[in-house]
Amino acid sequence: MSQLDFKNGKVLITGGAGYVGCRLALMLHGKGYRVTVVDKVTPKERGITFPAAIEFKHGDLRDAHIAKEAVSGIDTIVHLAANIGSLTYMHNHQAEILQENSAIDATLYPAAVEACVKRIIYSSSSMVFQRALKFPYVEKDLSEVLLPTNVYGMSKLVGEYFCCAYFEQFKLPYVILRYHNIYGPGEDSKGEGPGDLHVIPALIEKVVNGQYPLEILGDLHATRPFTYVDDAVLATFMIFEKAFADDPNVINNDFNIGPKEATKILNLAQLIWELLGDGRPFQYSTKDTKAITAIRREVDPRKISSVIGWQPKVSLKDGILKTAEWIKSRKDKPRSVLS
């Protein structure tokens, strides 16, 4: 089979107008794959212009008719569609998140089986490790982790069960990817205020807007392994190519995506201040959050590194500067999820 024939299978990216999805769609298209995107938000609303060869389907995948139409003729699904937001958003929209994410899976997987889709790549989350018992954790440790109390984490864990169950009963092959704290240019607010973002863009916006002392939400000593968005997309692409070729080292397997270095939130805030602050000494205040999250999140990424050779390329410092450049350049202008 020639490389051209190999790429003739159509790829569907659910949530493909989103932060990771649009970047992956463009990368797959650039590599010669036939890409279809389905999303309930249009590319125009996200400030994206896809090439004409990328087919866009507008619709909510909770609708079984939309799901059936989206998967028709599809070879591989990269399932990124999910309702997600900052800590505040997740706390205030728990029922919506649980309902929407579970409902998407409940329509998409049966439609995929009916359409004879060959494989599905599912984006899970580090939140499934919310109650991890050891650090840094590896993929196999999930079997010993207590169930998430965060509803987003629970919805993503349920999605992992969809993968396993649909393989066991219907032989639909899968790959599970667990992203760890993706950040970078392109993330907009999805809450009540401009600072209601994930922690890195939220802190950057506070600093560049002159907040002093810098307000930090939640536990100062919480740890996170931050993954720059381009690194996450590259890992997804590399896994995709292996899965597309039915590589047995990837198919029906799970991978954590994130750097081995974890950063304390207080240290993160201080680094952002040192890089972007106005020269005054670093000072901070704290604000409690009602959101349920993990105190420690520390991952051992050796599995994905050994199987596909992936390593993060963008340092935390460089990623912060790239994100800040985007935030400053887009201030008071329409934003795109693409940098």
Give residue-wise pLDDT tens across range 38-63.
999 999 999 999 999 999 999 999 99
Query: Which pLDDT score is estimated for 195?
Result: 43
Tell me, yes or no, whether 319 and 242 share the same domain.
Answer: no
Taking residues 164-190, report their average pLDDT: 92
Same domain, 232 and 268: no
pLDDT in tens, 178-221: 999 999 998 765 544 444 568 999 999 999 999 999 999 889 99
Beta strands in 210-290 (DSSP E): 214-217, 223-224, 227-228, 253-257, 263-264, 284-287
Q: Which amino acid is at 273?
A: W
Same domain, 68 and 211: no
Regarding whether 248 and 267 lie in a shared domain, the answer is no
Judged against a pLDDT cut of 90, whether residue 120 lies above it is answered with yes
Q: Which of 7, 15, 19 has the alpha carbon at shortest distance from 70?
A: 15
Percent of the chain predicted with pLDDT > 90? 85
Tell the residue number behind the tokens 């009540």, with chain if given.
192
Count of domains forming the chain = 2
CATH of the domain at 199: 3.90.25.10
User: 270 and 200 in one domain?
Assistant: yes
pLDDT band at 336 (very low <50, low <70, confident <90, very high): confident
Domain hosting residue 278, numbered range: 184-224+260-298+313-329
* Spatial distance between the Cα atoms of 33 and 28, rounded to a whole number of angstroms: 5
In a domain? residue 307: no
Give the chain's mean pLDDT. 93
CA distance 152 to 128: 9
Q: In the prediction, which pLDDT does 157 show?
A: 98
The reply to whether 121 falls in a domain is: yes
Residue 42: count of CB within 10 angstroms of its CB: 11
What average pLDDT does range 154-168 have in this prediction? 98
Domain-located, residue 219: yes
Residue 88 binned pLDDT confidence (cut-offs 50, 70, 90): confident
99 plus 207 within the same structural domain:
no
pLDDT digits (tens, 9 = 90+) for 226-262: 999 999 999 999 999 999 999 999 999 999 999 999 9
The reply to whether 160 and 284 lie within a common domain is no
- Distance CA(106)–CA(81), nearest Å, equals 13
Q: Tell whether 91 and 194 lie within a shared domain.
A: no
Return the pLDDT at 190.
52
202 and 143, same structural domain? Answer: no
pLDDT at position 194:
42
Give domain status of residue 304, yes or no: no
Whole-number percent of the chain with pLDDT over 70: 93
pLDDT of residue 339: 63
Complete DSSP assignment for 121-161: EEEEEGGGGTT-SSSSB-GGGGGGSPPPSSHHHHHHHHHHH
CB atoms within 10 A of CB 302: 13
Q: How many whole angstroms separate alpha carbon 219 and alpha carbon 235?
A: 29
Q: How confident is the model at residue 4 (pLDDT cuts 50, 70, 90)?
A: very low
pLDDT of residue 308: 98
In terms of domains, do 208 and 177 share one? no
Specify whether 195 is located in the same domain as 274.
yes
**Using an 8 Å Cβ cutoff, are 14 and 40 in contact?**
no
Q: Tell me which of 190 and 99 has the higher pLDDT.
A: 99
Is-contact 256 138, C-beta < 8 A? yes
Q: What is the pLDDT of residue 332?
A: 63
For residue 110, the domain's CATH number is: 3.40.50.720
